[in-house]
């Protein structure tokens, strides 16, 4: 596909629709998984954090292999394998009889996400021109956020009125529908590859060294952003449970947060393509960090806020912060990726950024288990400051603005 002839309409069914469905499938577990892990297997906050982080660890473990598989077998086969594995992981989790099996299923879910997301990321990074990436990738991220409005709502209702395990089987069904859609609409597209005889480890080392400046600057900012994003997956449900909310009520609040997300993504795309990528990142860190700090005041509400209204306000603010950065990590990765070996570069890029997603729930669970959930919430403010510092002083603007035409 020629970049000059690119239009968003051309990838609606092959990229956006399957991504929407899979995001909805992931979303059904957001209000349910922490409570399922805690109540079904009598797990403490630390193990609950591991259950949530396991998907991110699974993704990290397969980020680089996914890039290798793309180079070896192509985008379509890698992506289809990811969707099949996603469905299998959901069924295993639904039947899990021990915490270890649940943990294993979440690792598989993470591996499936790596296979799917990197193949799609490599494709859209190749076909979308730089000056349109902010809008196209914020739409990509924004549709995922719209899907997660539906997902947590369905998950919370099913858990409350059917069974705590029902959302897992719904996730498996969504994977099946997604697979059917992909097989009907998949686009054959192969990437330009750098031919080497260095082997997989050699390719990994060479790719990292070739782009270490990007990984050690923009990569740190991506880690911090993903840390904050993933942290709310444990903080909001556990605080809701702590103040006595029902599972469906937790689902409604989670849905509200993601609904705000979905409103913000057109703004994010416009700002990234008009003013630059960093113009969304710094406000996002500020708002996300503040929202998670605010939620830590639930047991000692500030001003006139009750515990319930504090949770609502913090959830809305986290949606604003996350939504305004919609597509930022994808866009930065696409901008920084080389014309050749995109799969290898993006595999490492996703490995680094997914490290933040894995660290968020793990660190939050560890701090909550060792100290308190409030202190865990407050600590997120420090992570936000790190992200702001790196994005402001170390990350160069990657938007390439077209020169104005002379009149």
Q: Which fold has domain 14-184+199-393?
A: Growth Hormone; Chain: A; (1.20.1250)
Distance, CA of 64 to CA of 189 (rounded, Å):
20
pLDDT at 162: 95
Distances (CA, A) of 19 to 104, 162, 206, 319: 23, 27, 31, 20
**Which range (64-68, 155-159, 177-181, 386-390) has the least confidence?**
64-68
Tokens of 361: 């729930």
| pLDDT, tens only, 127-148 | 777 777 777 777 777 787 788 7
Contact between 253 and 315 under an 8 Å Cβ cutoff? The reply is yes
| pLDDT, tens only, 96-113 | 999 999 999 999 999 998
Contact between 131 and 401 under an 8 Å Cβ cutoff? The reply is yes
Distance, CA of 134 to CA of 148 (rounded, Å):
21
In the block, residue with structure tokens 């400046």? 213
Which one is predicted more confidently, 314 or 327? Answer: 314
Dihedral angle sign, alpha carbons of residues 181, 187, 190, 191: negative
Mean pLDDT of 314-325: 92
Between helices 45-73 and 342-370, what is the axis angle to 10°? 170
Quick one: how far is CA 113 from the chain centroid? Answer: 10
What's the alpha-carbon Rg for the chain, to the nearest Å?
Answer: 20
Between helices 328-336 and 99-127, what is the axis angle to 10°? 50
Distance, CA of 189 to CA of 194 (rounded, Å):
16
Distance, CA of 91 to CA of 88 (rounded, Å):
5
pLDDT at 407: 43
Distance, CA of 318 to CA of 232 (rounded, Å):
8
**Which range (54-68, 188-202, 358-372, 390-404) has the least confidence?**
188-202
What does the chain come to in residues?
407
pLDDT at 344: 78
Residue ranges per domain, the chain? 14-184+199-393
| Beta-carbon count within 10 A of 201 CB | 9
Which one is predicted more confidently, 338 or 107? Answer: 107
Contact between 92 and 101 under an 8 Å Cβ cutoff? The reply is yes
Tokens of 31: 């209000």
Distance, CA of 169 to CA of 160 (rounded, Å):
15
Dihedral angle sign, alpha carbons of residues 365, 370, 376, 379: negative
**Which range (1-5, 157-161, 258-262) has the least confidence?**
1-5
**Backbone torsion region of residue 327, taken as left when φ is above 0, otherwise alpha when ψ lies between -120 and 50, otherwise beta:** left
225: CB partners within 8 A, 6+ apart: 281, 284, 285, 288, 325, 328, 329, 353, 356, 387
Tokens of 262: 């979905």
Which one is predicted more confidently, 289 or 192? Answer: 289
Mean pLDDT of 370-383: 92
Distance, CA of 229 to CA of 53 (rounded, Å):
12
Distances (CA, A) of 27 to 22, 30, 194, 202: 8, 5, 37, 37
Contact between 53 and 61 under an 8 Å Cβ cutoff? The reply is no
């Amino acid at each position: 596909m020629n970049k000059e002839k690119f239009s968003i309409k051309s990838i609606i069914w092959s990229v956006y629709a399957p991504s929407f469905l899979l995001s909805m499938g992931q979303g059904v577990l957001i209000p349910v998984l922490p409570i399922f892990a805690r109540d079904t297997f009598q797990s403490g906050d630390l193990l609950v954090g591991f259950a949530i982080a396991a998907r991110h660890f699974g993704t990290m473990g397969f980020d680089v292999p996914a890039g290798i598989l793309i180079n070896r077998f192509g985008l379509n086969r890698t992506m289809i394998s990811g969707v099949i594995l996603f469905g299998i992981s959901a069924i295993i989790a639904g039947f899990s009889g021990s915490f270890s099996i649940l943990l294993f299923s979440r690792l598989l879910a993470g591996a499936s996400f790596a296979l799917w997301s990197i193949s799609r990321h490599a494709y859209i990074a190749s076909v979308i021109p730089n000056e349109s990436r902010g809008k196209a990738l914020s739409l990509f991220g924004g549709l995922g956020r719209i899907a997660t409005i539906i997902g947590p709502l369905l998950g919370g209702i099913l858990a409350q009125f059917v069974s705590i395990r029902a959302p897992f089987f719904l996730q498996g069904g969504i994977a099946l529908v997604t697979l059917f859609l992909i097989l009907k609409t998949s686009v054959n597209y192969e990437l330009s590859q750098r031919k080497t005889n260095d082997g997989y480890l050699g390719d990994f080392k060479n790719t990292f060294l070739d782009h270490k400046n990007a990984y050690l600057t923009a990569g740190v900012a991506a880690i911090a952003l993903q840390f904050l994003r993933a942290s709310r997956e444990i903080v909001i449900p556990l605080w809701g449970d702590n103040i006595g909310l029902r599972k469906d009520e937790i689902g409604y609040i989670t849905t509200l947060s993601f609904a705000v997300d979905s409103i913000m993504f057109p703004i994010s795309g416009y700002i990234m393509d008009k003013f630059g990528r960093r113009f969304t990142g710094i406000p996002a860190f500020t708002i996300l960090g503040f929202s998670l700090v605010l939620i830590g005041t639930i047991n000692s509400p500030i001003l006139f806020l009750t515990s319930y209204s504090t949770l609502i306000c913090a959830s809305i603010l986290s949606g604003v912060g996350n939504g305004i950065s919609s597509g930022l990590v994808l866009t930065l990765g696409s901008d920084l990726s080389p014309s050749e070996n995109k799969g290898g570069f993006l595999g490492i890029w996703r490995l680094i950024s997914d490290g933040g997603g894995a660290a968020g729930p793990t660190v939050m669970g560890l701090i909550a288990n060792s100290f308190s959930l409030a202190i865990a919430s407050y600590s997120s403010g420090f992570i936000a400051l790190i992200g702001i510092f790196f994005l402001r002083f170390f990350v160069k603007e990657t938007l390439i603005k077209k020169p104005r035409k002379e009149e």
